[in-house]
Amino acid sequence: MPAHGVTSDGAAVVINETNLGFLTQLAGWARFSEVADAALRAQSLSLSENFRVTVRRGMVTAWRIAPDRVLIRSDVKLSLESSDDLAVLDLSEARVCLTLEGAGAAGLLSRVIALDFSEAAFPVGTFAQTALHHVGVLVDRPGRDQFTILIPTTWTTSLIGLLTDHLARAA
């Protein structure tokens, strides 16, 4: 890492593992929207109504991953406490952060993920939870040729291997 290469179409990609920082899941029940929104506002963020739009402010990113759950990536540990209306869970160790950059990044992902990576279907600033080679991952698109993928830690070696195998065969 980083792994440089091209897809079989000749488009360049760089795969890199980057520091995830802290990852916190907030989950709740009937009052989730209200309680989670309040918690996020303390981080100058708000709770998105939309399950595809990434909310980002500075070094903090929030993804609404389910009606009653939000996942927050931050560079410092969030000081949040569980209550009867909010369950706080540290997942910082449970995911590894991979970045894919370059003109071939979307093309490479199209080879391993069954999603439409055109800008119309997957605009910059959105994310998706999907399967990468049967493993559930979160794909975020901070830039046109830039993707961030959160991979469950124990699958990382295998999935990076699959991605770099594509680059190796196309070299």
Tokens 């909010």 locate to 86
Alpha-carbon distance values, 129 to 13, 27, 85, 116, 135 (Å): 22, 17, 25, 13, 10
Residue 90 binds to other proteins (criterion: CB under 8 A) = yes
- DSSP-based three-state secondary structure for 26: strand
Q: Is 48 in the site for other proteins (CB under 8 A)?
A: no
Tell me: does residue 134 bind other proteins (CB under 8 A): yes
Q: 161: which residues sit within 8 A by CB, 6+ positions away?
A: none
Contact status: 115 vs other proteins (CB under 8 A) = yes
User: For residues 102 and 11, is the Cβ–Cβ distance under 8 A?
Assistant: yes
Site for other proteins in 9-38 (CB under 8 A): 25, 27-29
- Indicate the residue among 57 and 116 with the shorter CB distance to other proteins: 116
Q: Which stretch binds other proteins (CB under 8 A): 35-43, 72-80, 97-105, 106-114?
A: 106-114
> For other proteins, which stretch binds (CB under 8 A), given 41-49, 62-70, 98-106, 140-148?
62-70
Per the DSSP assignment, residues forming a β-bridge with 71 are 25, 63
Task: State yes or no: residue 131 binds other proteins (CB under 8 A).
Answer: yes
Cβ-based neighbours of 103, under 8 Å, separated by 6 or more: 11, 12, 13, 145
Q: Are 72 and 60 in contact (CB under 8 A)?
A: yes
Among 22, 130, 142, 145, binds other proteins (CB under 8 A): 130
Does 165 bind other proteins (CB under 8 A)? Our answer is yes
The residue ranges that bind other proteins (CB under 8 A) are: 6, 8, 25, 27-29, 51-52, 65-69, 82-84, 87, 89-95, 110-111, 113-116, 118, 121, 128-131, 133-137, 152-155, 157-159, 161-162, 165-166, 169-171
